[in-house]
Amino acid sequence: GAVVSQHPSRVICKSGTSVKIECRSLDFQATTMFWYRQFPKQSLMLMATSNEGSKATYEQGVEKDKFLINHASLTLSTLTVTSAHPEDSSFYICSARGGETGEETQYFGPGTRLLVL
Amino acid sequence: QKEVEQDPGPLSVPEGAIVSLNCTYSNSAFQYFMWYRQYSRKGPELLMYTYSSGNKEDGRFTAQVDKSSKYISLFIRDSQPSDSATYLCAMSAVDSSYKLIFGSGTRLLVRP
């Protein structure tokens, strides 16, 4: 149990286009999901907290108009990188709170590698 | 000073060795402690979860939490080359909506 999937796993796009990343909790309902960004050889940086049915909460320094988050159901959250630029290239990982160990833990998806040319 | 400190390594050990990974923290409100394993280009995988102080064992892995010293550890017995990965400690508190605060991660290499 407690499986989280992400799609796509890799995406290459041209500068100026928008990219949508999906995060799904496959075997449990997640009222809260999180979106992280990770640079090479660094730890995870929390970008935003996504709550089902309400607006996302963004961390300081994260542009909410650049990174649009929608949590439309208890099993799906999406991150849209709008007007992507090369500096947005990174590894994006989502997590879902809950599952078999309860609300205190997070289960992570496999990540999405974004390359903006 | 970071809320959670973790030696980035790399830590290189021979196969079969006992590995000790550690984190220290400064926020006494942390109550939930986790260890994640992350392979290169993959998402973190939850290894161990501990609430408050004490020990927890799962197969070759043992997690220890000492809240009085603000110190947590992960021990890996009979280490295998497949254990080579980055290990991230993470912790959270009720009053911060369970947001995870991560250590920087320790890179572990187990040599055959």
Band (pLDDT 50/70/90 cuts) for residue A99 is low
- The Cα of B5 is separated from the nearest Cα of chain A by a number of Å equal to 12
Q: From CA A99, how far away is CA A64, in angstroms rounded?
A: 28
Cβ of B46 and A107 within 8 Å? yes
CB A46 within 8 A of CB B99: yes
Place of tokens 């009222």: A31
Cβ of B44 and A44 within 8 Å? yes
Band (pLDDT 50/70/90 cuts) for residue A90 is very high
Q: From CA B44, how far away is CA B105, in angstroms rounded?
A: 11
- Give strand pairing partners of B39: none
Structure confidence by residue, pLDDT tens digits, A55-79: 899 999 999 999 999 988 889 999 9
Cβ of B43 and A2 within 8 Å? no
Predicted pLDDT of residue A100: 67
Chain A residues within 8 A of B49 when measuring between CB atoms: 101, 104-105
Q: From CA A47, how far away is CA A66, in angstroms rounded?
A: 11
Average pLDDT over chain A, rounded to an integer? 92
Tokens of B2: 């970071």
Nearest alpha carbon to residue B40 among B84, B74, B5, B88: B84
Predicted pLDDT of residue A112: 97
Which value, to the nearest 10 degrees, does the dihedral of the CA atoms of residues B47, B51, B52, B55 take? -50
Which residues lie below 8 Å from residue A41, measured CB to CB, with a gap of 6+? none
- DSSP helix/strand/coil, B72: strand
Place of tokens 């973790």: B6
- Give strand pairing partners of B11: B108
Assess whether pLDDT exceeds 80 at residue A23: yes
> Within an 8 Å CB–CB cutoff, is residue B99 touching chain A?
yes
Nearest alpha carbon to residue A53 among A67, A75, A71, A80: A71
> Within an 8 Å CB–CB cutoff, is residue B43 touching chain A?
yes
Q: Where are the beta strands (DSSP E) in B42-111?
A: 45-51, 54-58, 61-66, 71-76, 85-92, 101-102, 106-111
pLDDT values of chain B reduced to their tens digit, one per residue, 112 residues? 789 999 988 999 999 999 999 999 999 999 999 999 999 989 999 999 998 888 999 999 999 999 999 999 999 999 999 999 999 999 998 777 778 999 999 999 999 9
Of A32, A46, A105, the CB nearest to B46: A105
Assess whether pLDDT exceeds 70 at residue A35: yes
Predicted pLDDT of residue A105: 84
Q: From CA A81, how far away is CA A115, in angstroms rounded?
A: 12
> Within an 8 Å CB–CB cutoff, is residue B34 touching chain A?
yes
Chain B residues within 8 A of A34 when measuring between CB atoms: 99-100
